[in-house]
Copies of this chain bind each other. A is one copy, B any other.
Amino acid sequence: MGTRGVTIVDVAREAQVSRQTVSRALNGLPEVSESTRTRVVEAARRLNYRPNRAAQGLVRGRDITIGLVVHDLRNPYYPELASVLSRLAAERGWGVVLCDLGTDDAAAGARLADVLRRVDAVVGSVTPALTGASQSVPVVALDVEPVGSDEPAIAIDYAPGIAAALDHLVARGRRRIAMVDSSSTPSRRRLLYRAHLQRHGLAWDETSEVVSADTHLGGVEAATTLRRQCPDADAVLVFNDVIAVGVLKGLTRAGVAVPEELAVVGIDGLDIGTLVTPELTTLAIDRTALARHAIELVAAALGSPGDTAAGGARRVLVPTLVVRESS
């Protein structure tokens, strides 16, 4: 907020010219004499004048800005997304303002409210706060359930991918497949894992599931917990690649051979999976496609001509199993 008093009229007075001359001088328009320009520039600097962007924007015409709301930018999933999204937005002349909710829920709400005031639309991970905010600007939710309302959103249908991952493990002779989740309330990914095991009559009990913090350090600990809690597990599906890489490391540290003794499969398809040894098998989500869909849905929601009919308000993405060395 903080209004900062110095306006163009102050500069005009200081430089002894009219305010439109100030505007012209400062914007480098040709029809100003050198001496006047210098005087104006000096005056502006002396007063520490900064043009008010809102006023400039108002008169220059609308420019679109979208917000990108993420849970935690430090999960490499998001920078890749942000990178593509910002490129695609730039191609349309849109700006992107970043909103990293972080782990502190109290601050997150305020941060979200703040970003909503600055943007024409929001793309982001669904949170209760975001859902409530959909009154003020259009919201394109990322990674919602494939069924549900017809709000603009991108759903990721994990069912076939998780089936493929588990089938793959079974095909390689795994019989006791555990899961590391990122929250104590079962994620959709975990529910699909359970359903698949049950449907195929595969071994499962309470010890099959471990909850981890959503960091690679969490994964390292989860590996220990898993070995203690479910010693006969010969494979593990992990909520995401960040945790999975930690699990991999925890297992290696504990002298467990991956994949021989225990196979590991992550979800997301992050680059870091190719960085570790053994390389991580993963269920990859195409973040470029995700970003592209998000931008198109924003365009449709903003009513940009030619985008409205581009395929409905809800898109569905299907992850792909990428088999590497850890399974």
Contacts and interface: CB of A to CB of B under 8 A. Distances in A.
Interface string A42-57: 0000001010111111
A97 B97 contact: yes
A76 B73 CA distance: 10
A82 B57 CA distance: 26
By size class, the interface of chain A is: 35 or more
Nearest to A108: B90
The 3 closest A-B pairs by CB, nearest first: A54-B57, A54-B58, A73-B83
Query: Considering residues A53, A83, A216, A277, which has the most beta carbons from chain B within 10 angstroms of its beta carbon?
Result: A53
A79 B73 contact: yes
A93 B1 contact: yes
Contacts of A72: 83
B304 A2 contact: yes
28 contacts: A1-B63, A1-B93, A2-B61, A2-B93, A3-B61, A50-B302, A52-B62, A53-B57, A53-B117, A54-B57, A56-B117, A68-B98, A76-B79, A86-B98, A86-B99, A86-B100, A87-B102, A87-B107, A95-B114, A97-B97, A97-B98, A216-B271, A216-B274, A249-B275, A249-B277, A272-B272, A272-B275, A275-B275
Contacts of A74: 76, 79-80, 83, 271
A118 interface: yes
Contact of A65 (B2, B78, B118, B216): B118
B82 A73 contact: yes
B53 A55 contact: no
A212 to B, nearest CB: 15
Interface in A87-126: 87, 90, 93, 95-100, 102, 107, 110-111, 114-115, 117-120
A303 interface: yes
Query: Considering residues A2, A72, A117, A120, which has the most beta carbons from chain B within 10 angstroms of its beta carbon?
Result: A2
A120 B50 contact: yes
A272 B272 CA distance: 8
Nearest to A121: B50
Contacts of A95: 97, 114-115, 118
Contacts of A272: 272, 275
